Amino acid sequence: MNTLNRSLAPKFNQVEHIHFLPVGKKTLDNGILLDSIHGGSQEILKIDFVFRAGNWYNPKSLIASSTSKLIKEGTKSYSAFEIAEGIDQYGAFLDIENGFDTSTVTLYTLTRYLEDVLPYFKEVLLYPAFHEHEFEIFRTNALEKFKINQKKVSFVARNAFSAELFGNNPYGLVASETAYRELQLEDLKSFHKQHYQLGNCKILVSGNVNETTLNLINIHFGKEATGNAPAQPDHQNPDNSPRQVHLEKEGALQSAIRIGKIIPNKLHPDYLGLKVLNTILGGYFGSRLMQNIREDKGYTYGISSGVISMQHAGYFFIGTEVGSEVTQPALTEIYREVDKICQEPVSQDEIDLVKNYMLGEFLGSCDGPFKMASLFESVDAYGLNFEFYNDYINTIKKISPNTIMELGQKYLNKESFLEVVVGKP
């Protein structure tokens, strides 16, 4: 028998080909577009209604997110209990996610119950009642939850970072106790009326989609008035000047660190290269920040960086929680890593690893119709399509160490960051 050489890695291949599921296009009777992605072997469906009703449209803090949370708490024809029970009884799930630009209302259901749950789903989307009683319960409980979160250094740091980074721009309108207390039901009603119009949303159904599915959606939503999409608000650009904000928190065992700045979004040609740079720096377990701050120094349980795209801005961040006593050394090491990526070209070995990792990761994020739907939505909102991901794959395969270093110099000068630290002084 041959002796196995365990030091030698087995042969492997770089991911060559990624298959994108086709997106079906249909127009409902009232002219609303319905996209669909068919795939998977389970008899299940996911329907997303993506409204342009995210934080960008916030007239003031908390309006967009509170509206999205309150739509399921009672409607024209059903009480909050009846809505919850109506959807629960078929084993379906309703999920509402309020983001920077959009609010997405999602229904997950077994295919065979679609017809039964759609009437409830439609009520939630189009006819929420905004009862005073439900509003008060929501406000009280959300405020309680907020107060609990305020005890977490990471939560405080995240909010302070967004508020500082975006200032008066609506992306920077974060929650506060005062904002909860000043919240008015009328504001939510008028936000809903303006932004939750069928004419202001995209519908995408994925999973076990067939003609019946599409017809059922048409029956329930194809007769409704579409309304008009509201005008785009005009907002001032965020302040991208470097500064340091240190918030004290008595008795904290750890300090939360959040460092970052405004950078371009998905629509900019540098965006994809920045994604690669970010992966090397702090975007995966083997990243430089993780290897240095966690695996070498043991300062933290975890550290990561990210490149976030919104429709009207983008930002880069590094986030971690470290032992209070090592806050300064951790900051020094973080800036050292940022500086290094701007000053030294990445080695061939490291870049090869990251390329393969990113392609494998991306292959995983394309697995199945639901993931495909998420990928589609995250480019469709920008007027892009799956071609964006072919560019992504090509960028990963082709990017050179020099390009990465140049991107670092262009965007990530260590003197240019907003730095937020929350913890023991």
Least Å distance, CB 98 to other proteins, is 18
Nearer residue to other proteins within complex by CB, 104 or 300: 300
Least Å distance, CB 62 to other proteins, is 17
Nearer residue to other proteins within complex by CB, 55 or 300: 300
CA distance 131 to 71: 10
At 338, is the secondary structure helix, strand, or coil?
helix
Least Å distance, CB 31 to other proteins, is 32
Least Å distance, CB 386 to other proteins, is 16
Unique residue bearing structure tokens 């983008």: 314
Nearer residue to other proteins within complex by CB, 44 or 165: 44
Triad 165, 166, 169: Cα angle to 5°: 170
CA distance 159 to 420: 10
Nearer residue to other proteins within complex by CB, 42 or 385: 42
Nearer residue to other proteins within complex by CB, 22 or 360: 360
Helix then strand then coil, in percent of the chain rounded to 5, is: 45, 20, 35
Burial class (CB in 10 A: 0-12, 13-18, 19+), 403: middle
Nearer residue to other proteins within complex by CB, 381 or 393: 393
Cβ–Cβ under 8 Å, residues 166 and 313: yes
Triad 281, 286, 290: Cα angle to 5°: 65
Which residues contact residue 285 at a Cβ distance below 8 angstroms, ignoring those fewer than 6 apart?
none
Nearer residue to other proteins within complex by CB, 146 or 382: 146
Least Å distance, CB 36 to other proteins, is 17
Q: What is the DSSP letter of 231?
A: P
Least Å distance, CB 11 to other proteins, is 8
Least Å distance, CB 290 to other proteins, is 9
Number of H helices, E strands in the chain: 15, 11
Helices (H), ranges, 35-168: 63-70, 80-88, 114-126, 132-149, 153-166
Backbone angles phi, psi at 115, to 5 degrees: -60, -35
Q: What is the DSSP letter of 326?
A: G
At 16, is the secondary structure helix, strand, or coil?
coil
Triad 377, 379, 384: Cα angle to 5°: 130
- What the block records as the tokens of 71 is 């739509």
Q: What is the dihedral of CA 28, 373, 106, 319, to 10 degrees?
A: -140
Nearer residue to other proteins within complex by CB, 150 or 240: 150
Least Å distance, CB 342 to other proteins, is 23
Edge to edge, the sheet with strand 313-323 lists: 243-248, 418-423, 254-263, 313-323, 300-310
Least Å distance, CB 312 to other proteins, is 32
Nearer residue to other proteins within complex by CB, 240 or 356: 356
Nearer residue to other proteins within complex by CB, 69 or 189: 69
Least Å distance, CB 389 to other proteins, is 15
Packing angle, helices 185-195 and 63-70, rounded to 10: 80
